[in-house]
Structure 1
Amino acid sequence: MWAAGCASAEPPFPHPQARLVVAGDPEGLSGRKLADHVDRTAEALARLRPGPLFCGMRNNLASVLRYLAAWRCGRPIALLDPDLPVGVLADLAGRFQPAALLGFTHVADGSSPRAASPRGGGGAPQPHPDLAVLLATSGSTGNPRLVRLSRRAVLANAAAIATALSIEPAEVAPTSLPLHYSYGLSVLNSHLLAGASVVLTEAGLLERSFWADLDAHRCTSLAAVPYQYEMLRRLRYDRAEHPALATLTQAGGRLSEELTKEFAAQADRFFVMYGQTEATARIAVMPPDRLAGRPGSAGLAVPGGRLSIDDGQVVYHGPNVMMGYAESAADLARGDDLGGVLRTGDLGRLDSEGFLYVTGRLRRIAKIFGVRVNLDDVERLLPGPGPAAATSGDDRVTVWTEGLDAAGCARLARRLGAELRVHWSGFDVRSVDRLPLLANGKIDYRALESLA
């Protein structure tokens, strides 16, 4: 029932046993019933003009059906933050010329950006036939590129995750992360490929309804980023209150050793993972039984992948590596630029058994609670009265300013959180008498990092 539009060598996706459950609905959709819903959505998409689709990807049934219908039709779809500011969405639409904008808060559903001519003039070429999914690299900041993911990459990573985490049909996972975020999407993909169940909820971990639905549907696993584990600690998470919840997974940044130990003790299996959107999602997974003996390690390469270190940089080799980046509609027609080799931009080392330790970053990119933020974009948002700089730490950005008092630092943190659409506590704003400078007059970031 899922074969049409797919290469015969592909595994069925979703698996015929896979089930989508809207929170509060005891039955859910699976088998022929789910296939019929996807078919009807695919028929609606077929009436749109050719080209990629932009989907404001919410944690709800309509969004997931659009995603699966686009997959069913062999049509590339960009899964984006549904609450993108109008200006950011307009810039993306102008550059990529999608056939329609679907599910966005600030734009009429189904609208077409044809009024905006593609940059450079002329019609946009047809996307490459292997292209399946597009994900943004930098949220709502700056001038985001799109990551081009092939059908093969999506399926390969979903299968690798399902294998590494031993996801079986009896598993039930809630949508605890945004589905336009590669980690959240990988939870959906891996469970649907394995024939498991996904509970669709738009509630957050701080809402009582999330936990009520998690227990009502007997969810067996929970995926979270470091900030969410900090929230769970403040909520005094107690496994005894959620007896079905046996597996916890973590990615999206480094989790402190203290929290790792705390939550490993709250689960049958606690998986620490490392990944990038450019590798579809996961690159390395730490087997739970090896966690205690290798504190700080991100684990072993996922099945089918391989890790190496080149001049200190972590390099990943595997079928889940992206085809490449896209800056405009013309790039969507490109084939595979990378050949399965991803230079991650992270510094690291491998021990004698191949366990990965990430030790730093080459580029000025930080992660705040799993969301990538360009530090140069942060600096461009900083107001006076004096110079300012941004450096990265574990799941935080430190902002260094001249001339602000404590109240001003607090206001700036909240402003940055609002503008970049991440929680304000991800910004540690500090005032210094004078920013350290290099001989060429540029900010000495290493000197600042030593003060953090």
Structure 2
Amino acid sequence: MTLLGDGARIVDLAAGRALDLTAAVPAAAEELAALPEGVLFVRTAVDVQGLIRYLAAFESSRAVALIDPALSVESLAKLVERFRPGAVLAAPECEPPPGYLGKDGHWVRAETDGVRPHPDLAVLLATSGSTGKPHFARLSRHALLSNAQAIAEVLGIGPEDVAPTSLPLHYSYGLSVLNSHLVRGATVVLQPAGLLDDDFWDAVTEHGCTSLAAVPYHYEMLRRLEFDPARYPRLHTLTQAGGRLRPELVTEFDTKMRTAGGGFFVMYGQTEAAPRMATMPADRLAEKPGSVGPALPGGAFGIRHNDGTETTHPKITGEVIYRGPNVMMGYAEDARRLALGDELDGVLATGDLGYLDEEGFLFVTGRLKRIGQVFGNRLSLDDLEQAVCATGLGVDIVAAVPAGDKVVLFAEGAARDICKDISLALADRLHLHSSGFDVRAIDTVPRMASGKVDYQSLTDLI
């Protein structure tokens, strides 16, 4: 099993050259083989060394955990204590934790014996941010490859395609973009500058990038910047995942791309599914702007009732259940669980609420856990965020968190009087007293490296 399709290329903009993967990957694999037994922690965002180490580990069947380099030293040390990796590559420049030695810029475990990961295990990805106690999704080689092939199929990725690294590689969506292009022999341009940086768009133009992946926050920013895809003649595909995009933005970017002769693909996924489960065909988006599409090739959706039974009948809301070859092996909370085999048998309870239509297209309506209470009334926090954006009060970015018997909503860039108007608008819409909606102005809603809202940080502010 290989991720490297014939002709797959990585363009390293920092070095101004294309990497010779046939030489770099085997050489890195030899270095990894010399490290102590156990999973390897690879700290990487968008950098050549981290990417090559990931590919080398995959090609040589060495399990790796891709770690956010912005993770604090304290949090990293706690992960090391729990999982006892063979080494932490590109480690922080400080004293290694107990039982580890500093060597060549890495933390290397002093003891030679460690937990041998299951032979099918390829990648560990954290399923929570840098706060709290993250656990890992255990992803097999088969899951990653099957998902990469399915994504490449529905997007029509071929050897002539070029994708920039618009998302971190330790984020499942960013890793999926890399995998789905390399497996089809396409080109990936390593651009460490963010999507909102001029250097990023210079690279899109210079290297003739054909696709771009982004999360809802990026699309909010692109709208403010009056992004026009027609400026980039080879850019024919935009994809969106990482949360629900406002309906008006779905329509706006769909129109922009169709006008420019391309397509806008709304996608749905979770890290636990390696990571994507559905893609809305661009040519059907205007017809069903609220849908994330049918399941990927090889996958299937069902809807679970409260009594545990499942259905595929249309317009019945319940928990979304996904079945497919890309479902993770299970979670890992410590080193011992790294040795376990597949515990889920290809079935993932997503924790999302949704329904199917007559064609099997999925509509996601909220999260089981993203529920707040206002005076005893259960409300979807995602729906509240959407409702604020639809008030017409000029607030496009808002984040809601539960706070006892009320909900706190952080409105980015809102004036104090607007916050009061928002609470009154919600009260009028939901027929509840406005004191149940504590709307607060915030300069910038905090986000994780993936671009997703850091709800834990907001909860800490209450």
The equivalent residue for 1:112 is 108
| TM-superposed deviation, 1:337 | 0.2
Asked whether 1:354 is paired with 2:360, we answer yes
Residue 24 of structure 1 contacts residue 213 of structure 1 at CA under 8 Å; is this kept in 2?
A: no
Residue 76 of structure 1 contacts residue 133 of structure 1 at CA under 8 Å; is this kept in 2?
A: yes
| TM-superposed deviation, 1:343 | 0.5
| TM-superposed deviation, 1:88 | 1.1
Residue 239 of structure 2 contacts residue 265 of structure 2 at CA under 8 Å; is this kept in 1?
A: yes
Which whole-Å deviations, capped at 9, do the CAs of 1:57-113 have from their partners, x for residues lacking one?
A: 221211110001111221100011111011111111110011111124565631135
The equivalent residue for 2:311 is none
Residue 94 of structure 1 contacts residue 113 of structure 1 at CA under 8 Å; is this kept in 2?
A: no
Asked whether 1:333 is paired with 2:335, we answer no
| TM-superposed deviation, 1:335 | 0.3
The equivalent residue for 1:252 is 242
Residue 120 of structure 2 contacts residue 140 of structure 2 at CA under 8 Å; is this kept in 1?
A: yes
Match of 1:75 among 35, 55, 62: 62
Find the residue that maps to 1:249 and give its secondary structure: strand
Aligned partners of 1:424 and 1:326: how far apart in 2?
23
Which whole-Å deviations, capped at 9, do the CAs of 1:234-267 have from their partners, x for residues lacking one?
A: 1111122211111100000111121111111222
Normalising by structure 2, we get a TM-score of 0.77
Alpha-carbon spacing, 1:328–1:123, altered in 2? closer, same or farther (3 Å): farther
Residue 135 of structure 1 contacts residue 182 of structure 1 at CA under 8 Å; is this kept in 2?
A: yes
| TM-superposed deviation, 1:396 | 4.8
Aligned partners of 1:422 and 1:291: how far apart in 2?
25
Q: How does 1:300-315 map to 2 (within 5 A)?
A: 300-311=294-305, 312-315=318-321
Aligned residues: 387
| TM-superposed deviation, 1:48 | 0.8
Residue 153 of structure 1 contacts residue 322 of structure 1 at CA under 8 Å; is this kept in 2?
A: yes
Flag structure 2 segments of 5+ consecutive residues without an equivalent: 95-101, 306-317, 373-379, 387-396, 402-406, 410-414, 420-437
The equivalent residue for 1:417 is 446
| TM-superposed deviation, 1:136 | 0.1
Find the residue that maps to 1:48 and give its secondary structure: coil
Residue 217 of structure 2 contacts residue 452 of structure 2 at CA under 8 Å; is this kept in 1?
A: no
Aligned partner letter, 2:446: G
The equivalent residue for 1:102 is 89
| TM-superposed deviation, 1:397 | 2.8
The equivalent residue for 1:42 is 29
Aligned partners of 1:414 and 1:93: how far apart in 2?
35
Aligned partners of 2:170 and 2:151: how far apart in 1?
18
Which whole-Å deviations, capped at 9, do the CAs of 1:362-382 have from their partners, x for residues lacking one?
A: 1249xxxxxxxxx9xxxxxxx
Aligned partners of 2:352 and 2:70: how far apart in 1?
30
Aligned partner letter, 1:201: Q
Asked whether 1:149 is paired with 2:139, we answer yes
Alpha-carbon spacing, 1:301–1:422, altered in 2? closer, same or farther (3 Å): closer
Asked whether 1:204 is paired with 2:194, we answer yes
Residue 91 of structure 2 contacts residue 106 of structure 2 at CA under 8 Å; is this kept in 1?
A: no
Which whole-Å deviations, capped at 9, do the CAs of 1:249-302 have from their partners, x for residues lacking one?
A: 000011112111111122211100000000001100000111111121010100
What is the aligned-residue identity percentage? 52
Normalising by structure 1, we get a TM-score of 0.79
